[in-house]
Amino acid sequence: MTAALWTSSEIAEAVGGRAAGDFAVSGVTFDSREVGPGDLFLALKGEATDGHRFLDKAFDAGAAGAIVSQPIDRPHVLVGDTMQALIDLGRASRARSTARICGVTGSVGKTGTKEALYAALDRAAPGEAHRSVKSYNNHTGVPLSLARMPRDTRFGVFEMGMNHAGELADLTQLVRPHVAIVTAIAPAHREFFASEEEIADAKGEIFRGLQEGGNALVPFDSPHRDRLIAAARPHAATILTFGRGEGADIRARDVVAAPSGGSLVTAIFPEAELTFTISQHGEHWVSNALAVLGAVEALGGDLAAAGLALADMPGLKGRGERHRIAAGEGEALLIDESYNANPASMAATLKTFGAQPVAGRRIAVLGAMRELGVSSEDFHAELAGPIEAARVDYAILVGEEMAPLAKALGQKVKMAHVPDTASAIGLVRDEIGSGDAILVKGSNSIGLARLVEVLASGKR
């Protein structure tokens, strides 16, 4: 019989609360819409709402107990501050675990790298790997992901994000990784940082939580490589670089296009060599895969199994998932990159889109990039070059921030500039035909996932 994730007495001890009722839980959530039978519901208080309002809904959905800051007539653990209780529960989960832990951060690629690393570890140890789901990488998502970690987990993979300096320093002390990866540095969240160097420094905070004997994985080809190495040196026993340049500790010696559209890679390690296939499209995935394999080796995983997992990995929703949808008398290819966007990821995705074999036209639906600060206009305008290089036949630009790009493109590319996703949906539906490829990418707040949902509802 599988042991409970948490018992009421364990929860009370972990969070310094008082248990009312004897119960055991199999899951943890603070979103009443996600509650399933046997879950623990945390009634968090936020600026806009109070989780205590949804307690009846949570118990109706099958919650076995709740963490609350006011007494209720249901099984619960009473605390003074439910947010602090979430942090304490995550910390207690990490303290009781004997798992080998990896933390992942970066301006771009962290969610894909986290998912690929999880797939690689789970391939060799089915059911014994755990990771943060979705993009649960902030001050609530990280402790929640830790709290959900089964007590017999062998490998844990946790994504950590940040908008401001100091955030990662706190998160990494919760995760306390044995291996820490920085995927890449790019001008994401530039609104809150004066320079890319400051972003690199903030990402480098992840190394501060490394356990004794820990490993740091740093992108060799990044202009901020030496800065990241300097940030890792006081905390890491081993620092490994990954990339394509000569001198990288984990280097892609040969990269060729795979028939499936991914890449066939031969990678050189300090004491090994591996040839493997990456199912995911785009050159940036070569770097992600090298980081994954470096982490697998550092965690004591199976490199060969990891290579097989990279070959079998499906597309991620909002991050490269591909759909075949009905179009005209045939079908079109829909590429879903709707979850997020910054200048680096936009350029990389457009480059991959340009290399996509297309029988019809290339249609790019591009949403505004958010949190770029005073440089926002320049960053948007600079996408004109990648759009032209990708041989885009029709660009649909969504959001007022796209005005500088619309101006920069001028008459060079057929184009429409619309204020919102709702306006874009009709344009795209009227435009696509058989053999076309449609790329959808933008910051999550633009809501282009809705456009993907509408188009994919007619997929084949």
φ and ψ at residue 350, rounded to 5 degrees = -65, -35
Pick from 67, 34, 36: nearest CA to 52: 67
Question: 346 vs 259, which has greater pLDDT?
Answer: 346
CA angle, residues 97, 134, 250, in degrees to nearest 5: 70
Q: Over the stretch 31-65, which tens digit does the pLDDT of each residue have? A: 999 999 999 999 999 888 899 999 999 999 999 99
Range of weakest confidence among 181-195, 198-212, 278-292: 181-195
φ and ψ at residue 445, rounded to 5 degrees = -70, -15
Q: Looking at residues 113-130, what average pLDDT do you find?
A: 97
Give the pLDDT band (50/70/90) at residue 134. Answer: confident
- Using CA atoms, how far apart are residues 117 and 289, in angstroms rounded to an integer? 8
CB within 8 Å of 215: residues ≥ 6 apart: 178, 179, 180, 236, 237, 238, 239, 240, 295, 298
**Confidence at residue 48, expressed as pLDDT on a 0 to 100 scale:** 83
- Using CA atoms, how far apart are residues 381 and 50, in angstroms rounded to an integer? 41
**Confidence at residue 260, expressed as pLDDT on a 0 to 100 scale:** 77
CATH topology of domain 97-312: UDP-N-acetylmuramoyl-L-alanine:D-glutamate ligase (3.40.1190)
Pick from 344, 244, 246: nearest CA to 291: 244
Predicted confidence (pLDDT) at residue 261 exceeds the cutoff of 70: yes
Both tokens of 436, joined, read 């076309």
The position carrying tokens 């009781």 is 96
The position carrying tokens 């709707």 is 338
Give the pLDDT band (50/70/90) at residue 1. Answer: very low
Predicted confidence (pLDDT) at residue 229 exceeds the cutoff of 90: yes
- Using CA atoms, how far apart are residues 162 and 143, in angstroms rounded to an integer? 14
Handedness of CA 95, 96, 100, 105 (dihedral sign): negative
Residue type, 124: A
**Confidence at residue 460, expressed as pLDDT on a 0 to 100 scale:** 45
- Output the CA–CA distances (angstroms, integers) from residue 44 to 69, 82, 175, in the order listed: 9, 6, 21
Range of weakest confidence among 89-103, 147-161, 337-351: 337-351
Both tokens of 168, joined, read 């990662």
Distance of CA 399 to the CA centre of its chain: 23
Half-sphere exposure of 218 (CA within 13 A, CB side): 30
Instruction: Report the chain's mean pLDDT, rounded to a whole number.
Output: 94
Give the pLDDT band (50/70/90) at residue 459. Answer: low
- Using CA atoms, how far apart are residues 325 and 316, in angstroms rounded to an integer? 17
Both tokens of 205, joined, read 């905070």
66 with 41: CB under 8 angstroms? Answer: yes
Both tokens of 294, joined, read 């470096």
Question: 9 vs 339, which has greater pLDDT?
Answer: 9
Q: What is the DSSP string of 362-385?
A: EEEEEEPPPS-GGGHHHHHHTTHH
Q: Considering the chain, what percentage of its residues have pLDDT values greater than 70? A: 98
Q: Over the stretch 145-192, which tens digit does the pLDDT of each residue have? A: 999 999 999 999 999 999 889 999 999 999 999 999 999 998 876 677
Q: Considering the chain, what percentage of its residues have pLDDT values greater than 90? A: 83
Q: Based on DSSP, count helices (H) and strands (E) in the chain, helices before strands.
A: 16, 22
Both tokens of 382, joined, read 């600079």
- Using CA atoms, how far apart are residues 273 and 253, in angstroms rounded to an integer? 10
Both tokens of 302, joined, read 């199976």
Burial of residue 122 (CB within 10 Å: 0-12, 13-18, 19+) is buried
**Confidence at residue 458, expressed as pLDDT on a 0 to 100 scale:** 67
- Using CA atoms, how far apart are residues 10 and 64, in angstroms rounded to an integer? 14
- DSSP, collapsed to helix, strand or coil, labels residue 278 as strand
Residue ranges of the domains in the chain? Answer: 6-84, 97-312, 321-456
Q: Over the stretch 349-397, which tens digit does the pLDDT of each residue have? A: 999 999 998 989 999 999 999 988 888 999 999 999 999 999 999 999 9
Q: Which CATH architecture has domain 6-84?
A: 3-Layer(aba) Sandwich (3.40)
**Could you tell me the CATH superfamily of domain 321-456?**
Mur ligase, C-terminal domain (3.90.190.20)
**Confidence at residue 329, expressed as pLDDT on a 0 to 100 scale:** 85
- DSSP, collapsed to helix, strand or coil, labels residue 191 as helix
Both tokens of 84, joined, read 């602090």
CA angle, residues 140, 141, 144, in degrees to nearest 5: 85
